[in-house]
């Protein structure tokens, strides 16, 4: 970074020489007063100049220290569990967070593998969508009462007991509803779990309800692979970097598609050059001590 210091001479100082010429015609007393006034102007200009130098130096120092601290991003790969090829997502480099669909053919095994390689694991809980799409096992719907929601979440957590929290699969309808969201957050609170709002609806009430009940909560900022082309994924990844650089943190969600995995294999190693650190999702939350025990033990 180049810093250019521009010092503009005070216009009144520049006038000194011209005034000097005309002032020769004035009497000595007046000339003495003019010299005195110009002397004070000179002192004031010089102090302004030094103040400017000091301020520029301070700005330079604070910019340098801000640069030294890397921005942090978390990447969550969700929708894991239905396809055998989902295992390829585990080969991605760095602190990726994996979110597992409950009661799926490969979910539990891949969750255990991710946990064994010290990667964080979430449960990816299907929630009712506005378009009425099929949800799969472990889903929460608006037809369920509190006991049913608690029981369903309990069964999912029993399958992946080391999960540090949940994020919603679909859920554009359910996340707008106060009662089911309050019950969901109540369960999370009871089990010291965090919530990541996938934000499948702009009207999601999940964050506000989680905050009210004291559940650690964040929202997804960027989906990386809504289109499965290399150029689209690259573009979204660039947007993720820019978001992190301006906001200091960013959370991305992507899926275990072969195209996504291939692109991320190349893109993740570029983060370091951009002074961005890839961190486990929980690193972006302020989490009570008991939950850190869960993360640390990984059991």
Residue ranges binding Zn ion (CB under 5 A): 78-79, 169
* Residue whose CB is less far from Zn ion, 92 or 135: 135
Element (H, E) at 35: helix 28-68
In whole angstroms, the minimum distance from the beta carbon of 126 to Zn ion comes to 8
The dihedral sign for the CA sequence 28, 34, 37, 43: negative
In whole angstroms, the minimum distance from the beta carbon of 147 to Zn ion comes to 25
* Residue whose CB is less far from Zn ion, 194 or 287: 194
* Residue whose CB is less far from Zn ion, 76 or 240: 76
* Residue whose CB is less far from Zn ion, 169 or 294: 169
* Residue whose CB is less far from Zn ion, 126 or 216: 126
| Nearest in space to 73 (alpha carbons), one of 191, 241, 219, 293 | 241
In whole angstroms, the minimum distance from the beta carbon of 78 to Zn ion comes to 5
**At a CB cut-off of 8 Å and minimum separation 6, what does 48 contact?**
10
φ, ψ dihedrals at 261, nearest 5°: -65, -45
Instruction: Determine the residue with CB nearest Zn ion.
Output: 169
Q: What is the DSSP letter of 9?
A: P
In whole angstroms, the minimum distance from the beta carbon of 208 to Zn ion comes to 22
Angle made by CA atoms 288, 290, 296, in degrees to the nearest 5 = 105
In whole angstroms, the minimum distance from the beta carbon of 155 to Zn ion comes to 19
Structure tokens at 41: 């102007």
């Amino acid at each position: 970074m180049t810093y250019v210091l521009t010092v503009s001479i005070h216009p009144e100082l520049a006038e000194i020489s011209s005034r000097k010429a005309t002032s020769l015609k004035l009497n000595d007393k007046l000339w003495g007063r003019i010299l005195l006034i110009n002397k004070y102007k000179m002192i004031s200009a010089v102090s302004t100049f030094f103040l400017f130098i000091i301020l520029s130096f301070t700005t330079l120092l604070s910019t340098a220290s801000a640069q030294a601290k890397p921005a942090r991003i978390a990447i969550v790969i969700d929708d894991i569990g239905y396809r055998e090829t989902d295992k390829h997502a585990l080969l991605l480099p760095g602190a990726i967070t994996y979110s597992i669909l409950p009661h799926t053919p490969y979910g539990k095994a891949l969750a255990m593998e991710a946990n064994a390689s010290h990667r964080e694991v979430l449960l990816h809980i299907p929630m009712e969508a506005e378009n009425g799409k099929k949800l799969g096992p472990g889903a929460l719907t608006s037809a369920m009462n509190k006991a049913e929601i608690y029981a369903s979440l309990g069964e999912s957590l029993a399958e992946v007991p080391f999960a540090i929290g949940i994020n919603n699969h679909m859920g554009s309808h359910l996340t707008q509803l106060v009662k089911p969201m309050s019950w969901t957050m109540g369960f999370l609170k009871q089990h010291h779990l965090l919530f990541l709002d996938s934000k499948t609806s702009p009207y999601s009430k999940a964050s506000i309800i989680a905050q009210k009940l004291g559940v650690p909560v964040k929202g997804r900022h960027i989906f990386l692979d809504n289109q499965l082309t290399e150029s689209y994924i690259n573009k979204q990844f660039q947007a993720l970097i820019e978001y992190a650089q301006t906001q200091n943190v960013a959370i991305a969600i992507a899926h275990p598609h072969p195209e996504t995995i291939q692109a991320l294999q190349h893109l993740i190693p570029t983060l370091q050059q951009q002074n961005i650190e890839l961190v486990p999702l929980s690193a972006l939350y302020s989490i009570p001590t008991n939950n850190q025990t869960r993360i640390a033990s990984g059991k």
